[in-house]
Amino acid sequence: MNFTQLQERVRLELLRRIERGTVSVSLLARQTGLGQGHISNFLRSRRQLSLGTLDKIMNAQRISVPDLLPAGRDMVLNELGRESGQIPLVSYAVALHEPYIRASSVQRVLTFPAETIGGWRPLCTPSRKQWERFVAVRVGGDEARAMEPLIQTDALVVLDRHYNSFKPYRDAAANVYGVRVGSRLSLRYAEFTAHRLVLRPQGLGFPVEVIAVGDGEIANDYLVGRVALVQNEL
């Protein structure tokens, strides 16, 4: 990992902490003595940091280099031609907020044929390319019931976090996405129209959700990833 990659991982980690409410730009400024504008420009990828400044931020937030390393390249298929691809099973919160999956966040590792995973096409915003691509979550409760029979209770769902486009993956077939709704992960059909994100369930007994996308927000960022595979319990 070179210095540019280190900065990008620190930036994404800080954005994750801000999203969770554990830190703010003003708190970072107080902790480091840096101006809020300086920090905001870094978080928006408008400027780079010096080594000394990056060290101040990492020390203030107790971020170490091992914290920024992925759980292991053998856990995520990044190359074609392997006999099998391994995908980490993680919590909803990790799938939502963690660009790089740490070993401590992995509940177990799922193995799939490489030709299955290698055939999935990505289509994402530039910032999302920095994220580890595949994660799996276990779905239960109302989230599963809202999408029955496609997704059943206790199903394992693989999310392709490099597909956060509203464009249909296949012609005449609507995509199902993992979607960020407040602090929770929701599995729904999704479309963006008239500055609103419309989330539709499979079951008629569940409501359609409409989310207003504010000025300065990007609707695609609400999409955690396309549901690429569903493994229902037999």
Q: With beta carbons less than 8 A apart as the criterion, state whether 198 and 190 touch.
A: yes
pLDDT tens profile 181-227:
988 999 999 999 988 999 999 988 899 999 998 878 889 999 999 99
Neighbours of 65 (CB within 10 A): 11
- Asked if the domains at 3-68 and 73-231 fall in one CATH topology, the answer is no
- pLDDT band of residue 77 (cuts 50, 70, 90) is very low
Average pLDDT over residues 129-141: 91
Peptide bond into 149 cis (omega under 30): yes
What's the pTM value of the predicted model, to 2 decimals?
0.69
CATH T-level assignment (fold) for domain 3-68: 434 Repressor (Amino-terminal Domain) (1.10.260)
Given the candidates 1.10.287.370, 3.30.930.10, 2.40.160.20, 2.10.109.10, the CATH classification of the domain at 73-231 is 2.10.109.10
What value does the mean pLDDT take over residues 47-70?
85
Residue 84 pairs in a beta bridge with 113
Percentage of residues of the chain with pLDDT beyond 70: 92
- Dihedral over Cα of 132, 133, 136, 139: its sign: positive
pLDDT value for 149: 93
Question: Could you tell me the residue ranges of all domains in the chain?
Answer: 3-68, 73-231
- Sort strands 155-160 and 134-139 into parallel, antiparallel or unpaired: antiparallel
Model confidence pLDDT, tens digit, residues 147-168: 999 999 999 999 999 999 999 9
Mean pLDDT for the chain overall: 86
Q: What is the pLDDT of residue 175?
A: 95
